[in-house]
Amino acid sequence: MQYLLNVIHDSAEFATEEEQAAIAVFNQQMKADGYWVFAGGLGVTDNATVVDNRGEEPLVTDGPFVESKEYVVGFWIVEAPDLDVALKLAIEGSKACHRKVEVRPFL
């Protein structure tokens, strides 16, 4: 079963060097343990563009789909047998990147 681990933060500041080093160690460990699927960091929501093609013409608008104080600044996708394992990874990940992490199961 796959889980999305959303990294939540309230500023666009990049991870510090220590945080980056801790994230690298965590990523290595996840790969070694077979949990790793994919991960990425995201740019600021200022650079987001929303596309809506549900109508007749595609609508392209500047900005994120919802304005909020906190937003997703990165994510991991992990393969885990159950939520307890995914939560354990999220707990380690949150420590490594020093940010909140939201765990969401894939359908």
- The footprint of other proteins (CB under 8 A) covers 1, 81-84, 87, 103, 105, 107
Q: Which of 69-88 are b and which e, b meaning 16 or more Cβ less than 10 Å from the residue's Cβ?
A: eebebbbbebbbeeeebbee
Tell me the closest approach of the beta carbon of residue 91 to other proteins, in angstroms: 11
Tell me the closest approach of the beta carbon of residue 86 to other proteins, in angstroms: 8
Closer residue to other proteins (CB): 37 or 87:
87
Closer residue to other proteins (CB): 31 or 104:
104
**Which pair of structure tokens corresponds to residue 90?**
């999220």
CA gap 40, 10 in Å, rounded = 17
Closer residue to other proteins (CB): 17 or 84:
84
Tell me the closest approach of the beta carbon of residue 96 to other proteins, in angstroms: 20
C-alpha distance across the termini of the chain, in Å: 9
